[in-house]
Amino acid sequence: MTMTFQQTGTIESLARKIGIMGGTFDPIHFGHLVTAEAALASFDLEQVIFVPSGKPPHKKDYPVTEAEARYLMTIMAVATNARFRVSRMEIDRPGYSYAIDTVKGFRELFGPQTELYFITGADAILEILTWKNVEKLLGLCHFIAATRPGFDLHALDQVLDKLPALKGRLHFLEVPALAISSSDIRKRVAEGRPIKYLLPETVEHYIYKTGLYQDRKQNEEER
């Protein structure tokens, strides 16, 4: 399997714990970065690999920025953190980007001795029953569910009842910066409102230089 990473350094094939953070990153913002850094510290991860989605299956009905632009913004955002990496796995893989295929790819890359932690939002976990081959996915990785302060964990009870194998694989992480959202940033750009301090300055400059989001209608749902 060919893997491309755009951070300096080598992949530690014997790494004990690796975080995988998938997402559209349209655009990436400080909420994503704070979540990844908190996961590093809270779960003793050796690195977090950001995986921009190539063709997200859950956003078929909404416009998504071209993959190379989202990938480049992710590279810019993580460049100063030696423990953050970026993978093109989903961008270079044809078809829809499913978590099961991505995790299987990293399992093949790192081997069975490495624990994989899939980092996502608690809201996404509420939809996990709709994910492709979710029961097989649970056997390949742990899940770190990032929550906003005050998130009602009881909302997950129904999911856990239907998917009891998730209970031993699910870990929670409270992240205050999750109040920032990509959809709000896109809306702010379209309306001419400031986005400074919501995302890295390099990403902010890229958005304005390329004109991203300025002509997009903002009646889309959170994505």
Query: Starting from the edge strand earliest in sequence, which strands make up the sheet with 47-52, in order?
Result: 84-86, 47-52, 17-23, 115-121, 142-147, 170-174
Q: Does residue 52 surpass a pLDDT of 60?
A: yes
Q: What is the pLDDT of residue 1?
A: 37
**For every residue of the chain, which 3-state class applies, written as one string?**
CCCCECCCCCCCCCCCEEEEEEECCCCCCHHHHHHHHHHHHHCCCCEEEEEECCCCHHHCCCCCCCHHHHHHHHHHHHCCCCCEEEECHHHHCCCCCCHHHHHHHHHHHHCCCCEEEEEEEHHHHCCHHHCCCHHHHHCCCEEEEEECCCCCHHHHHHHHHHCHHHCCCEEEEECHHHHCCHHHHHHHHHHCCCCECCECHHHHHHHHHHCCCCCCCCCCCCC
| Residue extents of the structural domains in the chain | 17-179
Q: Does residue 79 surpass a pLDDT of 90?
A: yes
How do residues 118-161 score in pLDDT, each as one tens digit? Answer: 999 999 999 999 999 999 999 999 999 999 888 888 889 999 99
Q: Considering the entire predicted model, what is its pTM?
A: 0.88
Tokens standing for 143? 């899940």
Distance CA 24, CA 56 (A): 7
- Domain 17-179 falls in which CATH fold? Rossmann fold (3.40.50)
Question: For a pLDDT cut of 90, what percent of the chain falls above it?
Answer: 79
Least reliable range by pLDDT among 36-40, 67-71, 158-162? 158-162
